[in-house]
Structure 1
Amino acid sequence: MPRCDVNSQPDVTIIIPVMDKLALTRACLASLENAPCQAIWELVVIDNGSTDGSGQWLRERESGGELTLLSPGENLGFAAACNAGAVRANGRHLMFLNNDTEVTPGWLDPLVSTLDRDPRVAAAGSKLLYPDGTIQHGGVALIEATRGPVTILEGLHLAHHKPADFAGANRPQRLQACSAACLLVRRSVFEEMDGFDTAYWNGNEDVDLCLRVGRAGGWIVYRPESVVVHHESQSGPERWAKVSENVKLLNERWLGRVTADFKRGAEGTVTATAAGKIALYTSPVVHLAEDAQADTVTVIVLTWNALEYTRLCADSLLRHTDPRHELMFVDNGSQPDTLDYLANLERAYPQVTVLYNGSNLGFAGGNNRGIAAARCEHVCLLNSDTVVCEGWLDRLTAPLADQGVGMVGPVTNSITGDQKLPAVGYDDRTLCGLEDYAARLTAEKAGQTAPALWVVGFCLLLRRELVERIGGLDEGFGQGNYEDTDYCLRAFLAGWRAVVARDCFIHHFGSRSFVAAGVDYGKQIDAKWQVFRRKWNLPPDARQNGQIDLERLMTEGFVPVLHAEQLPADQRARNLPLPAWQVGSSLDHAEALFAVGRLAEADRALRAVLRDHPAHPRAASDLACALWQRDPQRGLEEAVALLEGVLDTDPENTDASHNLDQMRAATCGSS
């Protein structure tokens, strides 16, 4: 529950075709009643000519207001029956559910939340388990199988017969298809596709629908947090009546028109294809304004004094950037000469926007304000001590044609890492010969990119979808350094790739704002490394030996309460709260971190939960324990306040009372 009543509009219409198997239908409907969820649903059942008493039992349920029953008097098959149910639906979304399934508590909310938060998602499927607890369906991959002289396109259930806790089946993923044994589809998309294709008979109509949705640009997402037990293929001999015809039809429609995820050779060996479509999925954490013109970029230049270099940067941008792009200067509390220059620039050029912070918000804070206010599709963070050349932004954005690329950086004369060229053919002090050198490099390296784990923030192009899914820079890094490395790692864990555009050269003077302010850059780097190290639970010598334990980080994956960052409040950016269904698993994760002594990460996760759910007693009590454990003296005051707040609301909360007694006893004992 909750079931829809006469006074409410359902979020979801659950559509269940049945043919006989009354015991399974009873169990399925009972599981719906006993599985709590927040989404409001209604139920439509299509009786495909049952002869075992199912019709009478369903009519009784309809009389009691539990469901809407359609009785066509014949077996329409799965596709036509589901289409008929969709016509009678009142929900915003359509849930196609087999009658040989039993749902588990919380099964529906992850699916509904995915569609509601992410307009790109057209359909979302569940993790399906056999009654013995092993996996029946962890999403569907497309496989081209060679059988003698013939190649056949098939759907392959991922993680089949693996244990339920198999790591590969417990990450949200973008796939080309999911099983319609339990599939939530956006109603508007289903209608646009004209429903399931009735040329299929009880097989492959779900794969076909997903492929049509994907061809139209919709995403298919697998959500393992939604768990459903599937007895599988219990609908009788009709299920297998036209298997060969269904396979033949799928291949006539799609072989050669879609990219397979895997290939199986004649000898049985299965290999992944380079162009496979399986990718990690993260839900949006921020909603950006939807009026941005396609293929445009807001270039965000953070300024903090050093006017000489800001002038050079601005002059090069105005000469070499198409005015359809936005040039945004975000000032971090500069002196009046810089402020006057920026004000004059904004008056003179319509593509220029200036934001004044009034104080130094740091690299992350300043850029986050720019990202939140950006008017274009993508954003490019550009240091004010850079000089760009002809065609720079076209070359920087070209790699975004690959939908898996989330970040792009250029090559340069002065930076750490692989983006720095060993030598440059111009005077990097006077810039004499820069334009000619950049043009030669562009011609020599045209279209070339190189994969990268880290792209340095002196010039960092960010895809819009990436920002929506992991948020802004981490402002915990303060004035600057390592927030770009942190962002790259977060993006990598969320399934995005970074590349260096080898044909895009940007001159970089290097740390001019820090130099102008007299900041000890070496000390700054050392301090921010410690922030980065603690955040990611890295060993003290990781900076020296380069070992950051990527395997562990990838296994743990992208965790929203640890790795997503909010943007500043702005009319063009709206932060999305942590969904209520995700609170429990987030607290489980935080408590697991606490149990192994990773207290800083537990603290971070718990604060993220309380930010969006401030009255949550378990989160508050857990955070109090983490604070006290980390530092019994400095953390005590906040810990006590948290627990007292829980007890003010719920005086009978035994966990909070026990923890508070423990802290007071320990404090008295040490005084």
Structure 2
Amino acid sequence: MKTGFRSQFDSAQDYDLFFRVIEQTQRIHHIPRVLYHWRRSESSSAISVRQKPEQLEASRLAIEAHLKRRGESAHVGVDWRTHAFCVRRRLLEAKKISVIVSTCHGLELLERCIESLTNRTSYPNYEIVIVNYDEFHGASAFPSHFPYRTVRFSGEANDSALKNFAVNQTNDPWILFLGEGIEPIERDWLTIMAEHVQRPEVGVVGGRLLNPNATVEQAGMVVGVNKTAQPAFHGFPAEHPGANRQLQVTRNCSGVSSACMLTRRDVFQEAGGFDESLEGALADVDLCLKLRHAGYLIVYTPFAKLCWHRAPSHQIDMKGEAIMRERWAGVLRRDPYYNPNLSRERADFSLGK
């Protein structure tokens, strides 16, 4: 590694240095204390990054150089609205995806989901698998111009068992769990998620889930907030930047929802699937934490936008909460992606009391 700062990255020389450091080691630790106050002047980018537009270009070039050294083919762009960077990786192979849609709320919601999925998905290689309980008989009857197949689960009502069963009825290398109330907003959503799941270090990818009223339902999950976990930026306007633009940038997090969760089959099986003693959001977080413990990253991307009709209410599962506190006590005390100085009541990245 070339040592020190490099003049071709002036105004972003520290950014370039940090990239070269993380390419050499993972022994990097964060001290959650205010140890340095950034000086501010009228010409400082601390006031506005537009004060030094060359800094954005130097930073973009540092990201490009980092990706090139890692052998990753990607395009790095600047979102001028937020002044954040957007990295679009080249999809090496559009592997086949089993899109597993579990249903229990009736035919109308399911039909809307499937029709929007087929009309607003540019990804070329996927199959739709509808899984439902034996007592639900509508899924095999509704018309669709896109082929799909239906599998029936005869066990007791258990959301986690239903999903595990559905996975065992498929054999594609990648798996997408999709809630029946989910509708894609833009056609490239699944391609964007696939760009990340192809990375060996990534275990699970989730998107930005919005409510019909254009507010955020979920942008990843933060653990240890409001007991076990809470969706990040819940209730924020859909295009709000969030604290430090966290709502609008691709980032690692501790969990995402299985309402829209893309993973690789081998990774899912390595984790043992969903824990059938847990359901709903707790089962989702548990799966993600198992993958984090195994060394995989959980990625949230805001560029895969979907609308979530009829999102479930946030009910308290005392038994499930107890299991999570016993199993993940250390992580619940300190989410590695959420500064301990931030709020423990709301997962909105605001300062705590």
TM-score scaled by length of structure 2: 0.64
Q: 1:244 aligns with which of 318, 324, 344?
A: 318
For the aligned residue pairs, the C-alpha RMSD in angstroms reads 3.1
What letter matches 1:121 in structure 2? V
User: Is this contact kept in 2: 1:48–1:77, CA < 8 A?
Assistant: no
Match of residue 114 from structure 1? 196
Q: What is the CA–CA distance in structure 1 between the aligned matches of 2:340 and 2:154, rounded to whole Å?
A: 43
* 1:124 paired residue among 205, 222, 235: 205
Structure with more of its chain in helix, by fraction: 1
Aligned residue among 291, 300, 325 for 1:213: 291
Letter of the 2:300 counterpart:
Y
State the one-letter code of the partner of 1:193. Answer: A
Cα distance in structure 2, aligned partners of 1:252 and 1:47: 32
The one-letter code matched in structure 2 to 1:255 is: A
Residue 120 of structure 2 corresponds to: 35
Aligned equivalents of 2:114, 2:350: Cα separation in 1: 41
Residue 103 in 1 paired to residue 181 in 2? no
1:138 shift after superposition: 1.1
Distance 1:97 1:264, change over 3 A: farther
Supply the distance in 2 between the matched residues of 1:42 and 1:269 (Cα, whole angstroms): 38
1:111, distance to aligned residue in structure 2 (A): 0.5
1:181 pairs with 255, 259, 263, which one? 259
Cα 1:74–1:20 shift into 2, 3 Å = farther
What is the aligned partner in structure 1 of residue 238 from structure 2?
A: 164
Whether contact under 8 Å (1:196, 1:206) holds in the other structure is yes
Partner of 1:477: none
Residue 21 (structure 1) aligns with: 106
How far residue 174 of structure 1 moved from its aligned partner, in angstroms, is 0.6
Pair 1:128–1:273, CA change in 2 (3 A): closer
Aligned to 1:199: 277
- Partner letter of residue 260 of structure 2? C
CA distance, structure 2, for counterparts of residue 133 and residue 272 of structure 1:
20
Gaps of 5+ in 2: 1-93
Q: Deviations over 1:37-69 (max 9, x none)?
A: 134111111112444x524426x76xx882221
Conservation of the 8 A alpha-carbon contact between 1:179 and 1:207: yes
Q: Determine the C-alpha separation between the residues in 1 that align with 2:284 and 2:161.
A: 12
1:133–1:257 Cα change, 3 Å: closer
Instruction: From the superposition, tell whether residues 248 and 125 of structure 1 become closer, same or farther in structure 2 (CA, over 3 Å).
Output: same
1:70 deviates by 1.1
Amino acid at match of 1:54: G
Distance 1:210 1:267 in 2: 20
1:11 aligned to which of 90, 96, 108: 96
Name the aligned partner's letter for residue 309 of structure 2: H
Q: How does 1:123-522 map to 2 (within 5 A)?
A: 123-145=204-226, 152=227, 154-167=228-241, 168=245, 169-233=247-311, 240=315, 243-257=317-331, 259-260=334-335, 261=338
Give the deviation of 1:91 after TM superposition.
Answer: 2.1
User: 2:19: which partner in 1?
Assistant: none
What are the residue-to-residue correspondences of 1:569-588 with 2, within 5 Å? none
TM-score by length of 1: 0.35
CA contact (8 A) 1:123 1:183 kept: yes
**For this pair of structures, how many residues does the alignment match?**
251
Which structure exhibits the higher relative contact order, with contacts defined as CA atoms closer than 8 Å and separated by 6 or more residues?
2
Distance in 1 (alpha carbons) for counterparts of 2:171 and 2:278? 26
Question: Does structure 1 residue 54 correspond to structure 2 residue 128?
Answer: no
Partner of 2:330, secondary structure, is coil
* CA distance in structure 2 between the partners assigned to 1:205 and 1:181 by the alignment: 12
Alpha carbons of 1:35 and 1:266: their partners in 2 closer, same or farther (altered >3 Å)? closer
User: What is residue 562 of structure 1 aligned with on the other side?
Assistant: none
Contact 2:178 2:259 (C-alpha < 8 Å) held by counterparts: yes
Distance 2:155 2:348 in 1: 44
* Pair 1:73–1:57, CA change in 2 (3 A): farther
Query: What is the CA deviation profile of residues 441-473 of structure 1, one whole-angstrom value per residue up to 9, with x for unaligned ones?
Result: xxxxxxxxxxxxxxxxxxxxxxxxxxxxxxxxx
Structure 1's unaligned 5+ residue stretches are: 1-8, 146-151, 275-671
CA distance in 2, matches of 1:165, 1:271: 14
Cα distance, 1:163 vs. partner?
Answer: 1.4
Distance 1:15 1:42 in 2: 9
1:225 Cα offset (Å) = 0.6
Residue 26 to residue 254, structure 1, CA distance change in 2 (3 Å): same
Which whole-Å CA distance do the structure 1 matches of 2:146 and 2:346 have between them? Answer: 53
Q: Deviations over 1:8-31 (max 9, x none)?
A: x95211011111322110110011
2:180 & 2:95 partners in 1: Cα distance?
Answer: 21
| Alignment check: 8 A CA contact 1:143 1:264 kept | no
